[in-house]
Amino acid sequence: MNVRPSPIAGSWYPRHPEALTWELDQYLDQARVKPPSGKVWGIVAPHAGYYYSGPVAAYAFKCLQGLQPDLVVVVSPFHYDHSAPLLTTAYDAYKTPLGLVKVDAQAVTELDRALRERFAEGLTPLQRDPEHALEIELPFLQHILGQFRLLPVMIQDQRLPVAKALGQALAATLQGREALLVASSDLSHFYPHKLACQLDAELLRRLEAFDPQGVMEAGIEGVGFACGCAAIAAVLWAAGQLGANRVKILRHATSGDVTGDFDAVVGYGAALIWEESEKR
């Protein structure tokens, strides 16, 4: 098996399984959240090092307790230069200190096909990628869900048509599956705390309104920012086509809440995407 080794274990999160499990449990125990009733389709979670964003991310991941999806889709930005708009891993599995996360090769192929039908370009596989934004979600998922198969997607081109095509292709790929969608994104970057909170509030308002196009347009309008805006929007478009109709913002914080430095902060948000049945 061709396994992707972790380039961030030991820096972004603990290298040793016992230390990692202990840290995840601490974050989850401190997350006071009660998931709403209905079918959970996805979450939005931050992707900074656990010291900074773990306490926020735990609110989203705690809502997944008891779920048994046969496929987990993690959609993240790609923070490096590449000519291809949409990327995936060339490996058979990701390795973390908690074990292997196997990639669902059939699901990757199906998504690639669905993308080419809608967008003319599919998924470009990568080896030796250093991307943290996708991997950082995996230990939380392993700890909560146990074994699952992964469909990894990294977005380099964060324009609206790319995000929408990905959302539509994901919905087509996931029809009939017991799937879970994870959008990996931080919020505002390196603004003073007060301004960061204003920008984050507008982005999160559009997210909670289930408005993927509004999420994409927030940055263009200069009223909100998320480094994974296309990941959030694509997951919203996919989840909406699959039946989801509600989003709840679970937690917001900034790096200043951890470090005490409020001059230039990074924002973090956690959200739940679910399907609320009509009341009869």
CA 80 – CA 142 distance, rounded (Å): 26
Answer yes or no: are the C-beta atoms of 179 and 148 closer than 8 Å: no
pLDDT for residue 278: 65
Contacts of 106 (CB under 8 A, 6+ apart): none
Contacts of 11 (CB under 8 A, 6+ apart): 49
Answer yes or no: are the C-beta atoms of 253 and 193 closer than 8 Å: no
Looking at domain 23-175+184-275, does it have CATH number 3.40.830.10?
A: yes
Cβ-defined contacts of 175-180 (< 8 Å, 24+) = 175/242, 177/70, 177/71, 178/68, 178/69, 178/70, 178/71, 179/69, 179/70, 179/71, 179/72, 179/73, 179/242, 180/40, 180/41, 180/42, 180/43, 180/64, 180/67, 180/69, 180/71, 180/72, 180/73
Residue 198 three-state SS: helix
pLDDT for residue 233: 98
Backbone angles phi, psi at 184, to 5 degrees: -100, 115
Q: Using N-to-C axis directions, what is the helix angle for 17-30 and 50-62, rounded to 10°?
A: 60
Q: Domain limits of the chain?
A: 23-175+184-275
Residue 66 three-state SS: coil
Q: What is the largest CA-CA distance in the chain?
A: 52
CA 233 – CA 241 distance, rounded (Å): 12
pLDDT for residue 280: 37
Residue 82 three-state SS: coil
Q: What does pLDDT average to in each consecutive run of 10 residues of the chain (280 residues)? A: 97 98 98 90 98 98 96 97 96 98 98 94 95 98 97 97 97 97 98 98 98 96 96 98 97 97 98 81
Residue 269 three-state SS: strand
